[in-house]
Amino acid sequence: MSTPIQKSIIITGGAGFIGSHVVRLFVNKYPDYRIINLDALTYAGNLENLKDIEKSSNYFFERVNLLDAAALQRVFEQHNPDGVIHLAAESHVGRSILSPLDFVYTNVVGTVNLLNAAKSHWAGNFEGKRFYHVSTDEVYGALGETGFFTETTPYSPNSPYSASKACSDHFVRAYG
């Protein structure tokens, strides 16, 4: 007899390089959790990364762009998630210099849309709910030959990419 599904977790950007490893880990390590891979399948997403788990009973894929607020609401209503692990982002500094607005839309507006969906869906019942936002060390700028960043290092983004991630970090903090 199988264990009933206890929790439901949305993982954004789950078809990307890092996201696919996170999705695979959760699908395999937590067979009693519903793992919803939410990805727009842009240049960085590839479902081939997840061929080995695509038929797992606790794995679900939703092709959704973070800019589509209505689709995000639908996913929250359909899957009733207890948590979100937010990995989806436009990335690569060079791309951000060529097209900074793409980074603002996905990394800032997309994150706010996701926060709004979670806030709306969880309204009045935040107990046991979690929203994990994954950022980048680039929000702190560049290190010299030595040193390291700490939790108290000031933000100092040096590209549209890192600026958009810093902005999304601040929105997540503000919603929290």
- Which of 33, 59, 140, 161 is catalytic? The answer is 161
Residue showing tokens 């390089």: 17
Q: What is the CB neighbour count within 10 angstroms for residue 36? A: 24
Catalytic residue among 62, 138, 140, 169: 138
CA separation for the pair 118, 82 (Å, rounded) = 9
Asked about 33 being catalytic, the answer comes back as no
Task: Say whether 140 is catalytic.
Answer: no
Q: What are residue 86's DSSP bridge partners?
A: 12, 133
Q: Active-site residue 68, yes or no?
A: no
Catalytic residue among 137, 145, 155, 169: 137
Tell me if 22 sits within 8 A of 85, measured CB to CB: yes
Tokens of 152: 């108290």
Which positions are catalytic? 137-138, 161
